[in-house]
Amino acid sequence: MNIAIIPARQGSKRIKEKNIKNFLGKPIISYAIKKALSTKLFNYVVVSTDSLKIKKISEKFGAKVFFLRPKKISNDKASTQVVIKHALNWFKKKNIQFNYVCCIYPTSILIKPKDLIKSYRLIKNSKWSFVMSAQKYSTQIERSFNLKNNEIKLFNKKKFYKNSQDFKDFYHDAGQFYWGSSKIWCSKNTLSNKSTIYQLKKHKAVDINTIEDWKFAEKLYRLK
């Protein structure tokens, strides 16, 4: 059995009610719910929320909301893993257990159902116990720098002037979805030597944290 869990708390500091804000005419969470349901991979598509309003909207679009998440794990300090573990423990008490769990963020509007299907095959048919959606950095991180009193401070002086072909590729969490076995979600850390990535292209993900991110995501979605 497989389950998709969409964590969607009501609080959002930078974008008010981000998880249910209208995205081109529909609550943004509805896109994640629809994509998860359309894959036919999941016995349950569940939204974990502390909000009755989010519960009502999520159920309208086909998700299940069996419980309201406790407030103590609904703040911005609560990790995604803690939220997933809470949901799995709720099901465990009902004698329901899952082989694979996919956490899908409610603002994952640019991924396609085939991304979820391909990443599922990656975890099911291999040695991996955790698969993270990720993107490649578009430039070499060794050439990055910060500012101190507006003065450039190089991240790595020795490597800054190397030729581009001499650098390794580096990747970052795309903030879209994560597949894991129930065991790995309930362990101390999800990342291990049995973790890998499902690479998303640039146009497949926007980590929406600001209004500028939101507007950019709308433009990308319209182009698609």
pTM: 0.91
Residue 148 within a domain: no
Residue 163 within a domain: no
Residue 14 within a domain: yes
Residue 168 within a domain: no
Residue 193 within a domain: yes
**Domain range spanning residue 11?**
2-133+173-201
pLDDT tens for the chain, residues 1 to 224: 999 999 999 988 789 999 999 999 999 999 999 999 999 999 999 999 999 999 999 999 999 999 999 999 999 889 999 999 999 999 999 999 999 999 999 999 999 999 999 999 999 988 999 999 999 988 777 778 888 888 888 877 766 766 666 678 889 999 999 999 999 999 988 988 899 999 999 888 999 999 999 999 999 999 87
Residue 144 within a domain: no
Residues with Cβ within 8 Å of 130's Cβ and at least 6 positions away in sequence, in order, are 123, 178, 179, 180, 181, 184, 190, 191, 192, 194, 195, 196
Residue 52 within a domain: yes
Four-CA torsion 13, 17, 20, 22, nearest 10 degrees: -100
* CATH, residue 85: 3.90.550.10
Give the chain's domain count: 1
Residue 79 within a domain: yes
